[in-house]
Amino acid sequence: MKSVKPGKEAFIRYDGKRMIIRSPFHPEYVEELKSNTKTRKWDAANKVWSLNVSEKEKALDILGRYFTVLEDTNPAENTNSEPVQPAQTGGVFTVQDGDKLEIWTDGACSGNPGSGGYAALLKNNGQVKEIASGFAHTTNNRMEIMAAIAALESLDKQCNITIYSDSKYLVDAMSLGWAKKWQANGWMRTKKDKAINSDLWQRLLDLCAKHTVRFVWVKGHSANRENKRCDEIAEAITHVPDLPEDKGYKRETG
C-alpha cells in the first residue's frame, strides 16, 4: 500500500454516476485532468472536481501520479481545495529608463461571461514579478486585455517591452492597428457596429504611448513555461469568491 504523505492526499467519493474529487491545488494535475477528461466540471461552491464514472480509471491514473488517493469518508471535514497560488515577486523588482522587459500575459473566465482572472509575469535583468487579479462578472477577452494593462501600469519608467500573449484578439488588435483605427473612428468597428471593450482599449493605448511596446502571439497550453504559469494563476483566480465588479463591462452591457 502506498504511504500517505500529509497534505498530498486526494479524496474521492461517488454521487450517482459522478465521481467527486477533492485535492490540494496542483497546476500540472489540473492541466492534465482538463486535457484528458471530457466530462470534468469544477464546482466552485464546493471546491471539488466531478466527472462521469465512465472516466473513473483515467481520472484515478492521473490522480495517482500526484497524490495518495483515499476514500472521502468525511467530505465535510476535508478543507483541501483549489486556492489561488500567490503571485511571487522573486524579490525587489526595479526598472530603469530604457530597460528591455519581457512580459507574458493571460486571461481566463469560468463561463463567458463569468468569473474572470488575469495574470502577468514580468522579467527584467534576471528579476521576476507576477501580477494577478480578477472580476466577478466579465469576459475572457476583457481579462486578456486587463493582463496587459496591469503589467504596463506597474511600470514607472519608460521601457522597451515585448508582450507575449496567446490571445489573437489582443495581439492582432494592437499589432495590426485595429485598436487605433477603432479609436480614430469614435470606437466604431464598422459604420454600424461599436467596438466592444473600448474602455480597456483606451487604457491600453494610453499606456503603450508611454513605452515602446511590441505584441507577440504564442501558442496557448504549449511548452512555454511563462505562458503556462500565467494560465495557471489566471485560471485559479476565477475560483476566488467575492471578486470585485467589472464596472466597465457592466456599463457596456447595461
Task: Choose the catalytic residue: 72, 107, 117, 235.
Answer: 107
How would you class 254 by CB atoms within 10 Å of its CB: exposed for 0-12, middle for 13-18, buried for 19 or more? Answer: exposed
Evaluate the CA torsion angle 249, 218, 148, 35 in order and state its sign.
positive
Whether 166 sits among the annotated catalytic residues: the reply is yes
Angle at 130 between CA 122 and CA 84, to 5 degrees: 150
Task: Choose the catalytic residue: 72, 82, 130, 144.
Answer: 144
Distance CA 43, CA 231 (A): 19
Evaluate the CA torsion angle 75, 77, 83, 85 in order and state its sign.
negative
Task: Choose the catalytic residue: 231, 232, 235, 246.
Answer: 231
> Residue 218: which of 205, 210, 227, 229 has the closest Cα?
227
Whether 130 sits among the annotated catalytic residues: the reply is no
Instruction: Report in angstroms the alpha-carbon separations of 53 from 40, 46, 73, 243.
Output: 10, 19, 18, 33
Question: Which amino acid is it at 80?
Answer: N
Whether 107 sits among the annotated catalytic residues: the reply is yes
Whether 43 sits among the annotated catalytic residues: the reply is no
Task: Choose the catalytic residue: 26, 72, 82, 106.
Answer: 106
- Residue 21: CB atoms within 10 A of its CB come to 24
Whether 172 sits among the annotated catalytic residues: the reply is no
Q: Which three cell numbers stand for residue 213?
A: 511596446
Whether 144 sits among the annotated catalytic residues: the reply is yes
Task: Choose the catalytic residue: 72, 82, 130, 166.
Answer: 166
Phi-psi region of 242 (alpha: psi -120 to 50; beta: other; left: phi over 0): left
Residues annotated catalytic, as ranges? 106-107, 144, 166, 221, 231
